[in-house]
């Protein structure tokens, strides 16, 4: 039987597709169309001896035409069988596929659901872009197209490939719109995956919802306009430099309970904002062979000391050779303090932390010590803990702090290098010391968003573990 061929594709691809078919010499007549309107101009008689091949197009062939073709409709899907549906190259990039190609299949009223005739795959590297995958899909698709238009005229039929079935969820336009959406609670890895997977030359695909509005996002130089030089003192590298400066000056890093007889430093951390930053600084200290005391709060808004992850972090800090103290927030109680009340409350909080965290507390520091009358309580010990603001320490130690993430008074490194204090009490807040330099408020935003992302990750993990649906919109 003599067969006609109708090619449905993008106008830019039709000339080459028609040329390939003509070179095969197996078709009586070759027609090209690019729109649904053009397809609808054919009547039922036109399809009686016609093979329709759809190549890399979004045009959906109506069921009436498929019925008239009686199984002689083949689609070349520019992706592997694992990525049916819209924008497969974007989803393949997002999922980190290791191979990609094209699929030739019989068309049915349901998109990318018909019997698979043949698939061609090629390996891809981990850094492949959506654009490169799209080009690879079209290239493999052209090979499959050549196979179809060469073999069909011989028998008027093509045998399905064995053991090839559609896999994966069929993607829709809505799915791609969701893939393009990022929000502040996504971790850096997820944001980077979406940026890479949705990148498309000439298009701004990324979106962010803020305050009930949706904004299109474009990438900019992340360091542009950032006054980072003003905050280089507050980086992990600068922190390590302070420790080394203290060691070079001959200071021994001591504990509150067992203070050295020679020149020493009580290196102390009030954990106001971030336990994760505390863990990182403790690791730096362990690497440098020194110890510090980490004062953990029971009633601060930025973390929960009694959470499992928090407990594990504190135990890891202790395992690095460091001490744990109590960071006591007197303002929580909203009372006029007496020595008896303070001893009683500190003792209770000490017991709560020790019982729930499983570590021994060594000292106590006051959160916001200048508020109220807290600085008046300078007994050597409070509630069974060494008082970091006790009279013996105030009288015999040079004190320096990084409060508020900038140098309100003396710069810690200058105090260390001056050698003026035989003994030092150095206070840092781990939330201020980051891998990169940034202004103080941005450092707090980083801690808050990191905490929020961790909570959302726990939510997602719980639903997945429970086998429940995670509805995002």
Residue 187 vs residues 175, 333, 454: alpha-carbon distances, Å? 20, 36, 8
**pLDDT of 185:** 85
**The pLDDT value given to residue 183:** 85
Q: Alpha carbon of 15 to those of 11, 31, 33, 54, 463: distances in Å?
A: 8, 11, 11, 14, 51
CA distance 257 to 267: 13
Among the listed residues 293, 294, 288, 292, the one whose alpha carbon sits nearest the alpha carbon of residue 241:
288
Positive or negative CA dihedral for 77, 135, 163, 126?
A: negative
In the chain, what are the helix, strand and coil shares in percent, each to the nearest 5?
40, 20, 40
User: Which pLDDT does position 225 carry in this prediction?
Assistant: 47
Neighbour count for residue 56 (Cβ, 10 Å): 21
Cβ proximity of 124 and 97 under 8 Å: yes
| Residue whose entry in the numeric block shows the structure tokens 């990191």 | 450
pLDDT at 371: 75
First and final CA of the chain: distance in angstroms? 53
Helix ranges (DSSP H) in 273-338: 275-288, 308-319
Q: What CATH number does domain 228-439 carry, 3.40.30, 3.30.1560, 3.30.160, 3.20.20?
A: 3.20.20
Q: CATH 3.20.20: which residues of the chain?
A: 228-439
The residues, any chain, with a CB within 8 Å of residue 202's CB and separated by 6 or more, are none
> Are the C-beta atoms of residues 114 and 124 closer than 8 Å to each other?
no
The whole-number pLDDT of residue 168 equals 84
Query: What integer pLDDT is reported at residue 400 of this predicted model?
Result: 94
Distance CA 89, CA 139 (A): 13
C-alpha 376/C-alpha 389 separation (Å) is 9
Does the pTM exceed 0.75? no
The helix/strand/coil state of 220 is coil
Enter the tokens of residue 402: 């990084």
Q: Which of 180, 101, 89 is nearest to 130 (CA)?
A: 89
Count the residues in the chain.
Answer: 473
Give the HSE-up count for residue 262: Cα atoms under 13 Å, Cβ half-sphere.
Answer: 5
User: What is the spatial distance between Cα 451 and Cα 429, in angstroms, rounded to a whole number?
Assistant: 17
- List of the chain residues with pLDDT < 50: 223-225
How far is it, in rounded angstroms, from Cα 389 to Cα 364? 9
Number of DSSP helices (H) and strands (E) in the chain, helices first: 14, 18
Instruction: Give 186's DSSP letter.
Output: S
pLDDT value at position 86? Answer: 94
pLDDT at position 245 is: 96
Residue with structure tokens 């003026």?
A: 420
Give residue 222's pLDDT: 53
What are the two backbone dihedrals, phi and then psi, of residue 176, each rounded to the nearest 5 degrees?
-65, -40
Cα–Cα nearest to 49, from 20, 79, 28: 28
Helix (H) or strand (E) holding 349: helix 339-357
Number of neighbours of residue 339 by Cβ within 10 angstroms: 11
List every span in the chain annotated with CATH 3.40.50.170. 3-155
Return d(Cα 354, Cα 360) in angstroms, integer.
6
The SS3 call for residue 431 is helix
Q: Which CATH number fits domain 3-155: 3.30.465.10, 3.40.980.10, 3.40.50.170, 3.40.50.300?
A: 3.40.50.170
């Amino acid at each position: 039987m003599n067969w006609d061929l109708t090619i449905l594709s993008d106008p830019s691809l039709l000339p080459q597709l028609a040329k390939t078919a003509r070179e095969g010499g197996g078709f009586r007549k070759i027609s090209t169309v690019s729109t649904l309107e053009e397809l609808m101009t054919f009547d039922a008689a036109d399809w009686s001896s016609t093979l329709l091949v759809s190549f890399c197009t979004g045009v959906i062939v109506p069921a009436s035409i498929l019925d008239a073709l009686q199984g002689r409709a083949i689609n070349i899907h520019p992706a592997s069988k694992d990525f049916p549906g819209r924008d497969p190259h974007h989803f393949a990039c997002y999922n980190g596929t290791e191979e990609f190609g094209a699929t030739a299949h019989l068309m049915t009223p349901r998109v990318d659901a018909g019997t698979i005739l043949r698939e061609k795959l090629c390996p891809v590297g981990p850094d492949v872009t959506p654009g490169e995958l799209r080009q690879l899909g079209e290239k493999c698709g052209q090979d499959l197209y050549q196979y179809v238009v060469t073999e069909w005229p011989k028998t008027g039929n093509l045998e399905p490939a064995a053991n090839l079935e559609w896999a994966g969820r069929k993607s829709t336009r809505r799915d791609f719109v969701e893939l393009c959406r990022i929000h502040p609670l996504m971790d850096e890895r997820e944001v980077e995956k979406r940026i890479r997977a949705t990148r498309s030359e000439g298009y701004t695909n990324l979106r962010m919802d803020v305050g009930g509005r949706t904004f299109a996002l474009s990438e900019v130089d992340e360091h542009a306009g950032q006054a980072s030089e003003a905050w280089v003192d507050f980086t992990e590298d600068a922190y390590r430099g302070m420790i080394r400066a203290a060691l070079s000056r001959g200071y021994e890093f001591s504990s509150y309970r067992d203070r050295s007889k020679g020149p020493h430093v009580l290196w102390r951390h009030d954990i106001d904002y971030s336990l994760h930053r505390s863990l990182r600084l403790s690791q730096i200290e362990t690497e440098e062979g020194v110890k510090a005391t980490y004062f953990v709060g029971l009633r601060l808004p930025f973390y929960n000391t009694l959470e499992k992850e928090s407990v594990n972090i504190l135990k890891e800090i202790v395992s690095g050779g460091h001490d744990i103290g109590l960071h006591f927030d007197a303002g929580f109680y909203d009372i006029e303090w007496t020595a008896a009340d303070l001893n009683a409350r500190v003792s209770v909080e000490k017991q709560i932390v020790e019982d729930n965290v499983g570590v021994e507390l060594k000292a106590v520091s006051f959160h916001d010590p200048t508020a109220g009358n807290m600085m008046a309580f300078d007994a050597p010990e409070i509630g069974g803990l060494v008082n970091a603001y006790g009279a013996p320490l105030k009288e015999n130690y040079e004190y320096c702090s990084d409060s508020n993430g900038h140098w309100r008074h003396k710069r810690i490194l200058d105090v260390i290098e001056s050698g003026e204090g035989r003994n030092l009490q150095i206070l840092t807040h781990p939330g201020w010391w980051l891998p990169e330099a940034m202004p103080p408020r941005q450092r707090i935003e980083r801690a808050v968003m990191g905490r929020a992302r961790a909570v959302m990750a726990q939510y997602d993990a719980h639903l997945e573990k429970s086998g429940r649906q995670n509805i995002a919109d």
